[in-house]
Structure 1
Amino acid sequence: MEVYSKSKPMDVNGQITKVTWKIEVLSDVHSKSMDVNGQVTKVTWRIENFSTIQDKELCSENFTVDGNKWRILIFPKGNTADHLSIYLGVANSSTLPAGWSRYAHFGLAVINQFDRELSIAGVTTQVFDVNGPDWGFTSFLPLTELHNPKRGYLVNDACLVEAYVFTDRSIGFISHELIVKTDSDKLKTKECDCVKAAMDNQRTTSTKAVEITNPSPTPPYCQIMAIEPEEPTEEDMNTFFTSLESKLWSSNTIFSREEAKEALAKVEKALNMTPVNFYDSGKLSPLKHAFKILASFDCSSTTLTIEQKKELFAMEESLKELADRAAKALQDKNFLTEKESIKLTITHKLDRNLIRYKEVESEVKQVEKRLAALHVQVEEAQKERENMLAEGKEIFKSSKEMKMELEALEMQWAEYEAMAKVAEEEESIVLAEWGRIKDFISSIKGKI
């Protein structure tokens, strides 16, 4: 395995953001379970101070795969979507010659720094050309998930992005399983341990952010440097209030009728949202307190039964689960929409090529007639004919490649449609359960 690694500061909207950059060529990648055997280029891009970045788009440094230069593009705040958007692009695409194209099988991932197997990864194949130099995923990871400190995608305000690129058409090596499970870098587990150690240490004392680079074998893999107490970080405050919330939840607080009515109103307001809108609103935490008030409220004539209280406690978790399932169902439906967009783009290109090919074919016939009639200009006309035929061959070659890609996409079309159908059924189940909970809350409203 060949490795190139470096760390340098990057000026992003007037702030110095540290970037750790590493390129690996995974030679003879092999796994019996994954049936992988070949060569994949892996790029690791670690960006610190991620939440402070205001730029709409970030571009990585260029890296070379099989003689072609590539780059990673990310939109930290989303590209016309409330998701992190990420793409693989051809570097210096404006200087590419006409007719240039290159096939790539690639995967892009945002690594979960708590548990690598929970990383978000997308894998696809694409023919890059002058008209389509950037391909990837617009709705890759919800921004609410990305910035949730409990999820593990931003740790110490650092985001870890990986790209896997393979340009041989013979077989598809890259998969989600390869990205999250291939043991190509033994340091990953140790790096994750360092990050977790840093977070545990921050619960009792302020620390400097842990810097994860590519260390030599002899020094320790990471080091946490304690400094004098300073202003609390956002993570310090999140940890404190999470602990406080747990303590208050377990206390036996007595709530008034007014507080119970206010809590009921909050629950009803949340249930009037769709599950997906509730998921995006981030209002689960205040709703937990509202459920606690309803379950704990005690008035002689309106005391809830033990079974009703138990169901209230269970509903708080049920709402979160239903919202998560609805968001996942929406993401699966959007996946089909994205594939439809790719299919439409390829179809339009084929239409244009077909029209142009017929034009070339007609022009060739006209030139042949001129050759028969204009003996004086035979040599010049012959040269023009050869140029026309050469263009026709290029069109035929690129059309054949795109037709093969279109046929491969259509072979999997039933799978994409089935996925969308399952997502729609799941959405219906979620809405039905959501309505049941809403009806139940309405039924106990008169008792509060």
Structure 2
Amino acid sequence: MELKNIHNVYFIGIGGIGMSALARYFKFIGKNVAGYDKTPTHLTDELKAEGINIHFEDNVALIALPYLNKENTLVVVTPAVPKDHLEWNYFLQNEFVVKKRAEVLGIITKGTFCFAVAGTHGKTTTSSILGHILYESGVDVTAFLGGIVENYDSNLIGSGKTVTVAEADEFDRSFLHLHPDIACVTSMDADHLDIYGDTASIEASFREFADKVEDKNHLFKTNGLPIEGVTVGVGTGAFSAVNVRIENGWYVFDAQTPSEVIKDIRFGLPGRHNLTNAMLALAMAKTYGVAGGDIAKALESFKGVRRRFSYQIKKPGLVYIDDYAHHPTEIDAVYQAVTELYPNEKVLAIFQPHLFSRTRDFADGFAKSLSQFENIVLLDIYPARELPIEGVTSQWLLDKIENDNKRLVSKADLLQVVKLTDATVVVTIGAGDIGEMVPDIKKVVDEKV
């Protein structure tokens, strides 16, 4: 089935961050779009407001008639949907064209000049920065993103037809469906061991992705990764941030590239990991041909990604930050940024573990990362697509944390805990439904002044 012959696109799991970007894209190019998701969220509310029909009950009878015509309907499914899903099985049994999100992204980007951003951490921020640079510089681009970019209040940037930016997701080996012309790998830490089994299998999959880029001068990587490519970093590599300083909460730095030094770039996202993300985006844009001055201008105007070190409150003596971190390395990055910016403040970190398998596989890493914070509150594990694993609980994780100021709290009691804390910096961390609680937490923190 060619995209031009598709009139209707039906999404099973439309509320997912990557799925919703595709839904917005198809709606934008004039297709009929509808879908199912398990629960309403802020994102499904936004999609409905944009004219997309969504229901929340797994019931074939709720699917509108146009989407039951298999001749011109594409069904897109997320890997998170269980195998016994009634709607999914209906479409399979009736021989509809059913594709995974990654396959559809591969089809869309195949006929374009494709930038692909891979890595176990930093994909969303790096691809969002890159999409913003290209769009602001006048490139005919569409960027499909795994987060809501503050500048655009969307996970889709642009409406270009010749250049695409895509997050190359390693989950379920999805990134192997892409056809990158320029790519980067931000990191290759162990993750998704429920899919891969071990670190060696993850690294092999990343190498297979990297091999898709024929010209290794168009493949960028951070220092120390076991793949061939151009090294990018802070104080290291062919593209390097040097002379880094902090001025009024901004990073100011010079970007050393093989062809020039771009002086006094201003960048507003905290944390050394975000400087690296910015340099990766800079390296890819510069290699494509964007002028250094245009890159610097775009980096200064980039406002960040929702739930990536996202300031909810930023007042003298009171700060609330929300972050999507769900891996020990990401929590370390949050801690580094918080302590660099607020070295003398009392910090409360609230963490919701994501997936029983990930909590089991990285329990010692989570405990070590969380122990760094002065005060820690744990919520119960967010299961997402998984069933409980015996013995793997937040209490089990809490017992591993070497810190006296720690406690396990139910979601129902969390607001009261936040209300009573004397911390001047509050940080919420996690990839589960803690993101849905942010507005309520913000309200409670705001009332503390």
TM-score above 0.5:
no
Relative to its length, the structure with more helix (as a share) is: 1
Q: Could you tell me the TM-score, scaled by structure 2's length?
A: 0.27
Structure possessing the higher radius of gyration over alpha carbons: 1
Q: Could you tell me the TM-score, scaled by structure 1's length?
A: 0.27
